[in-house]
Amino acid sequence: MESNQIVYEECSWISDIVKEVVQIKHFIMNHSMRLAIYHEFVSLKLLSIVDTRFASMIVMLRRFKLIKSGLQNMVICDKWNIYRDVNQEKAKFVKEKVLDDFWWDLIDYILSFTAPIYDMLRICDTDKPCLHLVYDMWGSMIEKVKKVIYAHEVKRLDEKSTFYEVIHTILVDRWTKNNTPLHCLTHILNPSDQWLDEDPTLISPYKNKEINQERLKCFKKYFPNLNERDNVNLEYVDFASKNEDFRDFDSIQNRYSMDPKAWWVDHGACAPMLQNIALKLLAQPSFSSCAKRNWTTYSFVHSVRRNKMTPKHAKDLVFIHSNFCLISRKSPQYAEGETKMWDIGGDAFDLFEDIGVLEVANLSLDEPEMESGFFFQKKWIIWMKDFLLYYLMER
């Protein structure tokens, strides 16, 4: 109970800021005239982001930071004074907060110390192979968060910070729940060790006790036979120490210039058992959210009206829908025009700068230009699914 109380006391101000931002947004959007005044001063839309969306709080705060000057000009204009009479208390609250520099400083602070966390999650939440980057990104993210908090509190890194300890505990608890030995094994099998040059305090994976213990757990799981396990351990020794065929000049040079999976294809034949594991792990995405999106598609296919569809037919339609999305990404129209990135969800977040992400973070009726192209393509896919459904049922 005491630890929960400390967490609440140290972090409650963050929830307060978020609630105030939501109140301001609702006050503007729930009145047509206030919304019209807002559009006179701000070109960007106010987003309505559901809580289940990825980093919804951060996206909302980033949007408010972008429109800061427009909001301040809005609340001091003559028209605002006319339409504030509908609810003077809320209008006064909105004006005080928008013109309060300390309030904006707190928003900047939240965005600054959550930025490393947000960036890491955003990189990992894709369908791209990045399992080998998770362990290193985790350590770098913790250090970046610590530096931001200590700089804000004007403290040395060896001093105590209650707020950082709370944030660190939350992050460690989350890491403990999601971390697996595979993160460490894939980190070890990444041939590039350029990250060691970024921080002189870092050590090679084979010198790290924790990483090696996790590696041994994986090897015992993959190779229950003792002789096989001895062979793969010897292969790992050669790989880690750059001995035998791994000491070849091209092999060492390509560790820094080639994709990890491509490197193992090109130079890993001398360690076939280790190569087999590396090729499997280095092709894996780190999050399962990409796979979970199939269940969303499945819920559209197997609806109340189509509850008698056989599992095979439903599976075929989900497969077809997913491949339509992949095929559309290869077309020239996908990268340009009003319908570019029309299937944006999580896989393509890394293709956008901050403003771009915020512009398409919520596709609503408030975005008619985007919606027209989006629904056109969605209707086309729905029509194709209906046609294929009919074909499969008849077959």
What 8-state DSSP symbol labels residue 190? -
> Do 278 and 346 touch, CB atoms closer than 8 A?
no
Q: Which long-range contacts (CB under 8 A, 24 or more apart) does 385-392 make?
A: 385/301, 385/317, 385/320, 385/321, 388/316, 388/317, 388/320, 389/306, 389/309, 389/313, 389/317, 392/313, 392/316, 392/317
Structure tokens at 98: 């928008």
pLDDT the model gives residue 59:
85
- In terms of Cβ atoms closer than 10 Å to its own Cβ (0-12, 13-18, 19+), residue 377 is middle
Structure tokens at 39: 């559009």
Closest listed residue to residue 91, CA positions, set 77, 80, 105, 102 = 80
Q: How far is CA 231 from CA 86, 130, 137, 271, in A?
A: 78, 27, 31, 9
Maximum alpha-carbon separation in the chain: 83
> Do 125 and 54 touch, CB atoms closer than 8 A?
yes
Exposure letters 89-102 (e unless 16+ CB within 10 A, then b): eebeebbebbeeee
Q: How would you write the pLDDT of the chain (395 residues) with one tens digit per residue?
A: 455 666 656 788 998 999 999 999 988 888 888 888 898 999 888 766 655 566 778 888 998 999 999 999 999 988 887 766 567 888 889 999 999 999 999 999 999 999 999 888 888 877 778 888 888 888 889 999 999 999 999 999 889 999 999 999 999 988 888 788 888 888 889 888 776 666 667 778 888 888 889 899 999 998 999 999 999 999 999 998 888 889 888 888 888 888 899 999 999 999 999 999 999 998 887 766 666 666 677 777 777 666 677 778 778 888 887 777 777 777 777 666 665 655 544 333 333 334 333 333 333 333 334 334 444 444 445 555 555 555 555 55
> Do 313 and 381 touch, CB atoms closer than 8 A?
no
What is the signed CA dihedral for 136, 138, 139, 144, rounded to 10 degrees?
A: 120
pTM: predicted TM-score of the whole model, two decimal places: 0.72
Those residues with Cβ within 8 angstroms of residue 36's Cβ, 6 or more apart along the chain or in another chain = none
How many angstroms separate the CA atoms of 141 and 122, rounded?
Answer: 12
Closest listed residue to residue 260, CA positions, set 129, 138, 350 = 129
Q: pLDDT by residue (tens digit) across 75-97?
A: 998 888 776 656 788 888 999 99
Structure tokens at 302: 């197997």
3-state class (DSSP) for residue 270: coil
Closest listed residue to residue 182, CA positions, set 231, 133, 123, 237 = 133
Q: pLDDT by residue (tens digit) across 335-390?
A: 666 656 555 443 333 333 343 333 333 333 333 343 344 444 444 455 555 555 55
